């Protein structure tokens, strides 16, 4: 199924497209999460998935050097018409691979409570999750996803 879908690093036009569609893809206002810093300053490892020139998914992520070198997924979104076709898994797989090559020992992402889609997606890809009280400030609980790369053997 993924044979028709390819990935590459986004250009400015792709970032513009992400900003245009993000609220619709999420079904709510999250446009501020696509802050331009994740393209200009932290976008070196960002990815888009496309089919015949159409952007069908994106992943904004970067490397963090705090304590353990960590690959951080800030935002991932798949066109609703292309969900459950492995596009999210494809983007995660590629991003994790570049993080691993860059020496990351861990992966991390967060989500708000109640995003069952996200919880199930991360669980299916072998990530751990836990709810952390006050993670994003007083009363702002978050689900923190993580995956330990150091324990994994790549064949
Ligand atoms: C979550 C999201 C990124 C998943 O992308 P996707 O391309 O549809 O996911 P995949 O097809 O790669 O799914 C891989 C596996 O994850 C699980 N999964 C994905 N979406 C799921 C859902 N809605 N319900 C249950 N399980 C789900 C399944 O096990 C799936 O494998 P399967 O289809 O063979 O059963 C996508 O639904 C999305 O963009 N949601 C809106 C934005 C969002 O919530 N982003 C995450 C914030 S951290």
The candidate with the shortest Cα–Cα distance to 122, out of 33, 69, 130, 14, is 130
Question: Please, what are the domains in the chain?
Answer: 2-148 (3.40.630.30)
Contacts of residue 94, Cβ cutoff 8 Å, sequence gap at least 6: 7, 47
Structural contact between residues 110 and 118, judged by C-beta atoms closer than 8 angstroms? no
Q: Which residues line ligand 1 (CB under 6 A)?
A: 26, 76-78, 83-89, 109, 111, 115, 117-118, 120-121, 124
Structural contact between residues 14 and 48, judged by C-beta atoms closer than 8 angstroms? yes
Mean pLDDT, to the nearest integer, of 20-41?
Answer: 92
CA distance 59 to 26: 14
pLDDT in tens, 87-146: 999 999 999 999 999 999 999 999 987 889 999 999 999 999 999 999 999 999 999 999
Give the closest residue (by CA) to ligand 1 atom 33.
Answer: 84
Q: Return the pLDDT at 136.
A: 96
Ligand 1: atom nearest CA of 122 is 16
pTM over 0.75: yes
Q: How many angstroms is it from 120 CA to the middle of ligand 1?
A: 7
Q: How many angstroms is it from 118 CA to the middle of ligand 1?
A: 6
């Amino acid at each position: 199924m993924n044979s028709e879908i390819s990935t590459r690093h986004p250009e400015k036009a792709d970032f513009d497209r992400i900003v245009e569609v993000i609220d619709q893809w999420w079904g709510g206002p999250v446009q501020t999460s696509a802050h331009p810093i994740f393209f200009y300053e932290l976008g070196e490892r960002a990815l888009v998935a496309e089919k015949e020139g159409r952007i069908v998914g994106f992943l904004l992520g970067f490397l963090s050097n705090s304590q353990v070198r960590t690959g951080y997924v800030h935002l991932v979104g798949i066109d609703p018409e292309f969900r459950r076709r492995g596009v999210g898994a494809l983007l995660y797989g590629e991003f994790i691979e570049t993080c691993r090559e860059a020496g990351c020992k861990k992966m991390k992402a967060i989500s708000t409570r109640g995003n069952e889609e996200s919880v199930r997606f991360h669980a299916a890809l072998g990530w751990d999750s836990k709810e952390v009280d006050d993670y994003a400030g007083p009363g702002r609980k978050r689900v923190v996803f993580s995956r330990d790369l150091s324990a994994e053997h790549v064949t």
